[in-house]
Structure 1
Amino acid sequence: MRSNQASGNSATFTETARRAQLLRCAIEAIAESGYGRASLAEIARRAEVSKGVVSYYFAGKDELLGHVVADVYTRAGAAIGARLATEDDPAGKLRGYLEANLAFLREHSADIRAVVEIAANSRRPDGTLRFAPGDADPVLEHLAELLRAGQHAGEFRDFDPHSVALVIRGAIDTASGRLVTDPGFDLGTYTRELITLVELATRKFP
């Protein structure tokens, strides 16, 4: 009985490791060669497996890319959550949110390049962008809730949290695009200036 359980755990560990490897190879292929050239065959070559192995774990390129986006967002969310847990007041949490977001961009440039490529190119059967923001956007709503908390605590001025969250997320997404297209982009300076702008825009003055 123990032998079977151990064997099952080993198989699960191996499969998890293989899926993680394929996701990493997909990210590298897209980041280095672009969306169009990142075929399942190219991803398999990088992983040193057959294309059939990739197809065993993922039904096709669309499913694989969906998992890539989910994986990057999950890791980014974990990093942001860990940073927010170190802050007690709403202003500190907002500053931490910005710092953690932009730090993740700096430390995971290949991941960001891959997600930008996928978001710009992956389409549904009807031709619409597959990863275009919709009415229900949990990333945007999380930020809006941070802003509401600051208002309820009396730290932030009166403004529309949804609109301000859109502006802030737009600035973060702009940084993502710049990292992909502009080798001279100074993310450190951008981070400092964005934090200053957001603090001035949200601060409650006497």
Structure 2
Amino acid sequence: MRSESPDKAPTFTESARRSQIIGCAIATLSEVGYSGASLAEIARRAQVSKGVVLYYFDSKDDLLQQVVIDVYTRAGEAIETRLAAASTAGAKVTGYLEANLQFVGTHTADVRAVVEIVTNARRPDGGLKFSPEGEDPVLAHFEQLLRDGQASNEFGSFDAHNLAVMIRGAVDTASGRLIADPSFDLESYTRELMTVVELAVHRRSP
């Protein structure tokens, strides 16, 4: 943000304008896709000049990165709220998944915008800019919830990493299906996924 300095926090007006531009970027990406989400179009929807957008963000890439951060931050806050209210490992896993899928269902435009960015934004070498490198923190977080349940003997024996990959894959699949198919029944999908997860983590009799 060009108006910020290392020792000066943005004003209320600056923060509000920045949030407005991010919101317009999300709406633009959701409605016209990555190729149509030019800075000029985002500025038009925000009813500001392109120069104003570039005052708050260094470039289009910077703006799109902030969109991803904004959506993931809000989703993370929703999940953490559910986790804080859970007292058992099972409740934490259930709360994590239900909160995640509920966010997907109630923030379709946000999810669509992020999908547009992560599947299209490229690095100079041509690779996907948002392709995970090294440990995936989202996957690692969920894997740790499974490991905590095993450590407390609430969950049974299973490969926590592989199960986390499969379950996170199911969550990502729901996001894609919801965007591609308006008739997709997310509530039913969530119930079925909860049943599968419960069976997978349940302690089995020897």
TM range (shorter): over 0.9
Match of 2:3 in 1: none
Match of 2:130 in 1: 131
Match of 1:64 in 2: 63
Structure 1: gaps (5+ residues): 1-7
Residue deviations 1:142-194 (CA, integer Å, cap 9, x gap) = 00100000000111111221111111110000011111111110000000000
Q: How does 1:5-44 map to 2 (within 5 A)?
A: 12-44=11-43
Equivalent position amino acid for 2:50 in 1? K
SS at match of 1:167: helix
Distance (whole Å) between structure 1 residues aligned to residue 179 and residue 122 of structure 2: 20
Which stretch of structure 1 is more off in the superposition, 103-112 or 160-169? 160-169
Distance (whole Å) between structure 1 residues aligned to residue 113 and residue 184 of structure 2: 18
Residue deviations 1:51-101 (CA, integer Å, cap 9, x gap) = 000011111111100000000000000000001111100011101111000
Match of 1:158 in 2: 157
Match of 2:49 in 1: 50
Match of 2:87 in 1: 88
Distance (whole Å) between structure 1 residues aligned to residue 203 and residue 134 of structure 2: 29
Find runs of 4+ consecutive structure 1 residues off by over 2 angstroms: none
SS at match of 2:11: helix
1:128 deviates by: 0.6
Match of 1:174 in 2: 173
Match of 1:113 in 2: 112
Instruction: Please give the TM-score of this superposition, normalised by the length of structure 2.
Output: 0.94
Distance (whole Å) between structure 2 residues aligned to residue 175 and residue 92 of structure 1: 21
Equivalent position amino acid for 1:135 in 2? G
Distance (whole Å) between structure 2 residues aligned to residue 151 and residue 42 of structure 1: 50
Distance (whole Å) between structure 1 residues aligned to residue 76 and residue 45 of structure 2: 27
Distance (whole Å) between structure 1 residues aligned to residue 165 and residue 40 of structure 2: 38
Match of 1:75 in 2: 74
Match of 1:4 in 2: none
1:137 deviates by: 1.2
Residue deviations 1:119-152 (CA, integer Å, cap 9, x gap) = 1101111011111122221111100100000000
Equivalent position amino acid for 1:128 in 2? G
Equivalent position amino acid for 1:47 in 2? A
Equivalent position amino acid for 2:35 in 1? G
Distance (whole Å) between structure 2 residues aligned to residue 23 and residue 60 of structure 1: 13
Distance (whole Å) between structure 2 residues aligned to residue 151 and residue 191 of structure 1: 23
Distance (whole Å) between structure 2 residues aligned to residue 175 and residue 105 of structure 1: 8
Residue correspondences, number: 198
